[in-house]
Amino acid sequence: MQTDLIPAKVFCASHAIEQSFIQTLYESGLIEITFIEEDPFVPAAQLEQLERIVRMYFEMDINVEGIETIVHLLHRIQTMQQEMNVLKNRLRLYESGF
């Protein structure tokens, strides 16, 4: 077994959630799951995202559709911030040339 994969059973047990919730998130495209011999595993790189989603769903009472919207908007904001940084760096290059 790869060390960068966490069994979904273990994650669900440690967060006191049903495995069906993980399956729902996978089906909606919010997280990735790797299946090994029909057992679902969560990549370690997805843990931060998954924990954030679990908090939104259970603590903030946001449904899966709302979480999809929030994740999409956060991704767009992050992309725009990266583009702004590139443009700022270009502007600095031209400003320092004069």
The yes-or-no verdict on residue 16 having pLDDT over 50 is: yes
CATH number of the domain bearing residue 67: 1.10.1660.10
Cβ atoms of 53 and 31 closer than 8 Å: yes
pTM metric for this prediction: 0.80
38: tokens are 């029909």
- The pLDDT score that the predictor gives to residue 8 is 95
Alpha-carbon distances of 96 from 15, 29, 76, 91, rounded to whole Å: 52, 45, 30, 9
* Residue 75 domain boundaries: 5-96
| Residue 93: per-residue pLDDT | 87
Mean pLDDT of 72-94: 95
The span from the CA of 62 to the CA of 58, in Å, is: 7
% residues pLDDT > 70 (the chain) = 95
Number of domains in the chain: 1
* pLDDT bracket for residue 96 (50, 70, 90): confident
